[in-house]
A and B are shown apart, each in its own frame.
Chain A
């Protein structure tokens, strides 16, 4: 018998009392720990949750993470881990396959939905955060007292690809903008690319030339070029996923954050409390603090207090249910965006 299986037995023995005592593992995505982004954020939430629940938690990194999907998941399942949270997007199908063979182990996958009674899928209500970003942009674009804002009521958004997953952001953004000012024009473009800042730079500059002064990027690495364009031309960009305000301080109006830390903390907490949402899709929105606008550290001082108060008011209305933000993934396309 090897030492690993001895350890596994020991772990199994301590977990006999309650299933949710078994240790948890967090599989780190490409980029690894230290990326000061997605992985680090998720690991923060993971550490907090396992400490609070007093269960053992292990992060697993691999340079070869794409190829080792099933191998890592199976090894951890064999060894008596009770919960596996997988951050790597490309592990989706492998996770669903492995989960079938280990009905007593719980699995979590982010940003996609996978089947299985012991699999929880975590999605973010990106449309809610995007709504606030659109509302803020519409308020700012008509306020020429703010430096860099022209007299044209035009804002823009650049998506990485024409897909419903990306249009979910765009629809929320347009709805937010039109709710505060129906006269604001929202230019929409797709870069058909998530990894090329040069394309983002070009497309954003074209939008700024056409009179837009704020452009929301939903295009991953391509979006870095949008932020660069904002900096070069003295306009504004809106960041996405992580807090990108610091990439070009003062040129990024705000960022639409996806709080991966909150997501991981929530599911680990549910697991420890025996309320694991197996077979369900957990959607984290403004209410759960799963999406949010950034603190606007570099731009807050430029924006009138009344504008910020209006955005907070809209947020309260979403939380209370007075405003329903269109979810393009669940509801299909709305009339105002076909």
Chain B
């Protein structure tokens, strides 16, 4: 039992360790001392309350994009459209955030968050319908929908929703009442982190202890078996895809109300795609995804500020992120288990 748990932990940590090793080689070759760079990164990610807060802020969107992805993945649906939902949810929430002038916080925040989630869910209706009715590959449809969502929001924010007099593609700032409260001022850590963390933990319980949670995992493992025992597989897949979209939209809405306080060009640097890596690295488990989101959050927050104290360019951090993602996809745990089986 304990040995199995340790093996699981090793399998989950292995991609990160391998990435660090490869990153060290890249750093050494480019004339940096890997150990001192890693020490600097660690202190920039976790050294003191302010840096921890910055890391948790960077972790926040990844918790929910990871969760949105995992909910689809575990049911066997490879939804890669969370990025698009994130953009749309962010724009919807930001727009209500500056439209609903004079609304109290208690009304404007839930309405804007709900709108963001709903538009994300609605965005997934078409690919979900195409998947369950006509068997259209969801990878293709959801990937393509990302481009549409990004360009649609870009058009809206360059035209109808553009802030008056702004030289930048941005909506007006949201009302003060629409901003999610900050947890540790003056740091940027906001209530969205708690909401996101709570949802991932809730997912953990849903996964373990509810019938739908069990069924959707079962469908992911063996859809034919589920059909044979009478589970309504198409309906389940449809619902999981919509749920995935809802959470993706909510992620964007939280990012808009909690951190950016408006919708602006470059709203997401690819949180939806990093969410895929979070789900894969975390093996769709709540704890695994929290740790994985923390890893990518730490890389993002420290990656920017280590440049203040070293000559390490941002590309090195991107190499690290990319390597973690590659190894996250590989089922390295199998390798370990096979070895032990032989021995």
Contact = CB atoms under 8 A, between A and B. Distances in A.
B164 A75 contact: no
B58 interface: yes
B301 interface: yes
A71 B47 contact: no
B170 interface: yes
B169 A63 contact: no
Interface string B299-333: 01101110111000110001000000000000000
B58 A3 contact: no
A64 B304 contact: yes
Contacts of A192: 158-160, 162
B308 A61 contact: no
A184 to B, nearest CB: 28
Interface string A97-131: 01001000000000110000000000000000000
Interface residues of B, number: 51
Given A74-B186, A164-B165, A195-B155, A67 B259 contact: yes
B255 interface: yes
Interface in A47-104: 58-68, 70-72, 74-76, 78-79, 81, 89-90, 93, 98, 101
A63 B270 contact: yes
A89 B167 contact: yes
Contacts of A101: 186
B47 A78 contact: no
B341 interface: no
Give the most central of A79, A195, A196: most B CB within 10 Å. A195
Contacts of A58: 307-308
B264 interface: yes
A194 interface: yes
A25 interface: yes
Given A68-B301, A72-B305, A74-B50, A195 B165 contact: no
Nearest to A66: B266
B79 interface: no
A281 interface: no
B168 A61 contact: no
Interface string A185-200: 0000000111110000
A163 B44 contact: no
A100 to B, nearest CB: 10
Nearest to B60: A67
A5 B308 contact: no
B305 A30 contact: no
Contacts of A166: 167
Nearest to B157: A195
Contacts of A66: 260, 264, 266-267, 269
A7 interface: yes
Given A2-B47, A164-B165, A61 B304 contact: yes
A78 B54 CA distance: 13
B39 interface: yes
Contacts of A68: 54, 58, 300-301, 304
Contact of A60 (B162, B270, B304): B304
Contacts of B270: 63
Contacts of B169: 194-195
Interface string A150-192: 0000000000110111100000000000000000000000001
B321 to A, nearest CB: 9
A60 B44 CA distance: 14
Nearest to A67: B259
Contact of B36 (A3, A59, A78, A163): A3
Contacts of A72: 304-305
A62 B309 contact: no
Contacts of B158: 160, 192-196, 222
Contacts of A60: 304-305, 307-308
Given A5-B43, A90-B265, 17 more contacts: A2-B48, A25-B308, A30-B265, A60-B305, A62-B314, A63-B300, A67-B259, A67-B269, A68-B300, A68-B301, A71-B304, A72-B305, A74-B187, A112-B167, A165-B167, A193-B159, A195-B265
27 contacts: A4-B309, A5-B47, A8-B309, A58-B307, A58-B308, A63-B270, A63-B314, A65-B269, A67-B61, A67-B269, A68-B54, A68-B300, A68-B301, A71-B57, A71-B58, A71-B187, A71-B188, A74-B50, A75-B50, A75-B51, A89-B168, A101-B186, A112-B167, A161-B162, A165-B167, A193-B155, A195-B265
Instruction: Give 10 nearest A-B pairs by CB, closest first.
Output: A2-B43, A2-B47, A62-B304, A89-B168, A61-B314, A163-B165, A71-B54, A63-B269, A30-B266, A195-B158
